[in-house]
């Protein structure tokens, strides 16, 4: 049986063709979009956002976006993040100065002992997202999609705020890139 190759699209502030792959994939300057991702996690959501803007051309054509011209992509990330946050536990504002106490006492009391330990709520963490605090389930990767997608949002926002253009590559075989 032939193994299906994973293809990626490189989204970077550096053009890998002119500056080289090492420069284009340096920390803080790139994102990787996985095409045809079967798992609906944060990587899948990122790819879907770019597909909504570039359609079937994503992975087939290269794109160059001028600095400051891809704010609509950042807004799409934020909109998706807000949708994901609707399913997360929001910390009431009166507890913002005592988050640890809230998580250990008030939030803990929302569950029976069996639910708390069996469902691994003891691994839950408080994080600030879009100016508000939320409690995220951190035990398993598919429980952390909203938390991980927030990191993706912060990353693309940082690229946008850097004032640099965005280069979007054609599809490349992941295995051939040497990551």
Question: Considering the domain boundaries, does residue 74 fall inside one?
Answer: no
* Residues 3, 52 within the same domain: yes
Number of domain units in the chain = 2
pLDDT digits (tens, 9 = 90+) for 139-169: 888 889 999 999 999 999 999 999 999 999 9
Whether 118 and 176 share a structural domain = no
Residues 7 and 62 grouped into a single domain:
yes
Q: pLDDT tens, 73-92?
A: 999 999 999 999 999 999 99
Q: Is there a domain that residue 122 lies in?
A: yes
The reported pTM is 0.86
Contacts of residue 52, defined as CB under 8 A and 6 or more positions apart, other chains included, come to 76
| Sequence-ordered alpha helix ranges (H) in the chain | 16-19, 21-24, 42-54, 71-85, 99-101, 113-118, 145-161
Q: Give CA 40 to chain center in angstroms.
A: 12
Look up the domain containing 62 and give its range: 1-67+164-179
133: in domain = yes
Is residue 145 domain-resident? yes
Asked, for residue 79, whether it belongs to a domain, the answer is no
User: Do 58 and 118 fall within a single domain?
Assistant: no
């Amino acid at each position: 049986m032939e193994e299906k190759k994973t293809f990626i699209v490189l989204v970077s502030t550096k053009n890998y063709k002119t500056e080289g792959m090492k420069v284009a994939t340096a920390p803080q300057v790139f994102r990787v979009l996985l095409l045809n991702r079967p798992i609906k996690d944060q990587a899948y959501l990122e790819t879907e956002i770019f597909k909504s803007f570039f359609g079937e051309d994503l992975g087939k054509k290269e794109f160059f976006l001028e600095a400051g011209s891809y704010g609509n992509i950042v807004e799409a990330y934020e909109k998706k993040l807000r949708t994901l946050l609707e399913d997360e536990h929001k910390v009431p504002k009166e507890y913002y100065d005592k988050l640890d106490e809230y998580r250990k006492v008030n939030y803990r009391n929302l569950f029976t002992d069996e639910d708390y330990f069996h469902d691994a709520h003891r691994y839950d963490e408080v994080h600030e997202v879009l100016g508000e605090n939320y409690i995220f389930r951190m035990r398993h990767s598919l429980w952390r999609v909203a938390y991980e997608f927030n990191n993706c949002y912060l990353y693309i926002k940082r690229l946008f705020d850097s004032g640099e253009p965005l280069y979007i590559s054609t599809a490349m075989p992941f295995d051939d890139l040497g990551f």
